[in-house]
A and B are shown apart, each in its own frame.
Chain A
Amino acid sequence: MSALTLKNVYKAFGDTEVLKDISIEVEQGEFVVFVGPSGCGKSTLLRVIAGLEEATAGEVHIDGKLVNTVPPSKRGIAMVFQSYALYPHLNVANNMSLALKQEGVSKAEIAERVQEASRMLQLDDYLKRFPSELSGGQRQRVAIGRAVVRQPKLFLLDEPLSNLDAALRVSTRLEIASLHKQLDATMIYVTHDQTEAMTLADKIVVLRDGRVEQVGSPMELYNKPANKFVAGFLGSPAMNFLPASLLKDGDTRVIGLRPEYIYLDENGPLSAKVQHVEQLGGDTNVIAMVGEHMVTVRLFGQHAIAPNQQLTLGFDPATLHYFDE
């Protein structure tokens, strides 16, 4: 049975439609990431699933049950918010146990579940502290712990890493991934960061302007993007787009070429003038102009390339993507 099914979900605020005809199926135990630029409706979609917003039309099924009219607390979900949203007047242990107390879970079981979660998230030393006495990373772990203790059918995470600094983001990302494996839980994760999406997801849902652009595993989306938007959104540095007429006269389509599939080739078909070079140590990113089109080239290793230098570039035609404009 699928953990979550959305059938033709619409959401409008007044006259503004923010979600248009969304249908998604999420399997038990899957890690699904909703990704898209800001304003694409991904957070609203998560709030509709949580029951914090009502869908204007369409059906939301969680664990096979229609939940359109079920309040958030009865949907079997737990949510982690971007701003952590810890109760400021409760200490860590009480923050985690509040929902269980509301459900009427026995004291012994609450204690056991809180202990389990705090061990898993290394919060044992902080159980008696208040949220104001914790660092950002610790607060985020408490917020995750508050979701874990509820043992929900569905975890909803709304940009949980975006308030953390870069180093902490990477380590918390790993923690979330290992938590997903440990709990074998179904997770829905919203982000605008394509790296988070690629690294965490079993399945990515790319959204734009309230519509689903493509659904698939990270590698499916990377290798076979359905359209130019998905192709440009996933992968870093972003895919290069050039008019196909550069290669073949009269072709009106657009070609997409990933920076990592371009190489230096004396007999290559593209000649380019170097604009800027980014030396990353392991990689060298070269930004060059092919005619009036900017192209990013990702070369493995270190290369002595200077601005204004002329390069000839080659690529394997099999790695080309064609898009209709």
Chain B
Amino acid sequence: MNKARSNPVSAAAMHGALIIYTLIALFPVFVILINSFKSRRAIFREPLSMPNSDSFSLIGYETVMKQGDFFLYFQNSMIVTVGSLFLILLFGSMAAFALSEYRFKGNMIMGLYLALGIMIPIRIGTVAILEMMVATGLVNTLWSLILVYTAQGLPLAVFILSEFMRQVSDDLKDAGRVDGLSEYTIFARIVVPLVRPAMATVAVFNMIPIWNDLWFPLILAPAEETKTLTLGSQVFIGQFVTDWNAVLSALSMAILPVLILYIIFSRQLIRGITSGAVK
């Protein structure tokens, strides 16, 4: 920041506000993490204290490892999230390129139609989706989830990406055409690298809801071999007894992969949010 404009008081106030926000946002995560390392009695006696030699216990993690196919659930969640993100970015960016680059009849209408999905929650169609999945024999497969999440993510992806692609210079694309690049190469080699921040934004927006979703796994793929992590963790939550150690341990482990994915995308994401703000 410019030295002449930085003022210690306002800088302190700004950092103070951000630190308070960070603390509030991280508090639940922190509570989950510390309690996952405590015995059941310690969790209830002093939920906010750090684990010490008395209360430290790995019983929750042991339960999770022993009971249920935790690694399978983990793998299922990973496949579904990464698969859906890949398809959302692939189809979303291709549709956005067509909408932003080519003049054809109904271009506007098509764009609006594709954006309509932003306003209509996909869960309204759950019954119809289930019927479709039954008819096509996709119930209890990971594909059912990937397809639904792809459909859920596409409208926003097309909307955001087509806005960004409109800003890519026409001369650049024309230079590619004069140089003999095919439309696919222009898309993949010139336009996609330039809208990478926007793609990271779309990926992050879609990743977390997909990873955390309970609804569709419960309805479309509740079988043991296709359970996702969120659904798998539910075995520890009973109507009368809940194994909190196991639930907290499972949640702690569920945070990790999404955190890693987030870190991968976040560098791009920050650029995506600030791009256009500064010339």
Contacts from A to B (Cβ < 8 Å) = 47, 50-52, 71-74, 77-79, 81-89, 98-99, 102-103, 146
Assess whether A103 is in contact with B169, with CB atoms less than 8 Å apart. no
Q: Which of B158-185 contact A (CB under 8 A)?
A: 169, 171-172, 174-181
Assess whether A89 is in contact with B193, with CB atoms less than 8 Å apart. yes
Assess whether B174 is in contact with A71, with CB atoms less than 8 Å apart. no
Assess whether A71 is in contact with B177, with CB atoms less than 8 Å apart. yes
Contacts of B31 in A (CB 8 A): none
24 contacts between A and B (CB under 8 A): A47-B174, A51-B177, A52-B178, A72-B174, A73-B177, A73-B179, A74-B180, A77-B178, A79-B174, A81-B174, A82-B171, A83-B172, A84-B171, A86-B175, A87-B176, A89-B190, A89-B193, A89-B194, A98-B179, A98-B181, A99-B178, A102-B181, A146-B175, A146-B179
Contacts of A52 in B (CB 8 A): 174, 177-178
- Complex Cα distance, B172 from A82, in Å, reads 11
Across the interface, name the chain B residue whose C-beta is closest to A75. B178
Contacts of A79 in B (CB 8 A): 174-175, 178
- Complex Cα distance, B180 from A74, in Å, reads 8
Assess whether A83 is in contact with B180, with CB atoms less than 8 Å apart. no
Contacts from B to A (Cβ < 8 Å) = 169, 171-172, 174-181, 189-190, 193-194
Assess whether A85 is in contact with B172, with CB atoms less than 8 Å apart. yes
Contacts of A82 in B (CB 8 A): 171
Contacts of B175 in A (CB 8 A): 79, 81, 85-87, 146
- Complex Cα distance, B178 from A51, in Å, reads 8
Q: Tally of A-B residue pairs with Cβ under 8 A?
A: 59
Assess whether B178 is in contact with A83, with CB atoms less than 8 Å apart. no
Interchain CB contact (< 8 A) of B171 among A73, A74, A83, A88: A83
Report the minimum CB–CB distance from B165 to chain A (whole Å): 15
Query: Given A83-B171, A85-B172, do A50 and B180 touch, yes or no (CB 8 Å)?
Result: no
Contacts of A72 in B (CB 8 A): 174, 177-178, 180
Assess whether A50 is in contact with B178, with CB atoms less than 8 Å apart. yes
Interchain CB contact (< 8 A) of B178 among A73, A88, A89: A73
- Complex Cα distance, B181 from A178, in Å, reads 30
- Complex Cα distance, B174 from A202, in Å, reads 28
- Complex Cα distance, B171 from A96, in Å, reads 16
6 interchain residue pairs of minimum CB distance:
A73-B180, A99-B179, A85-B171, A102-B180, A85-B175, A81-B171
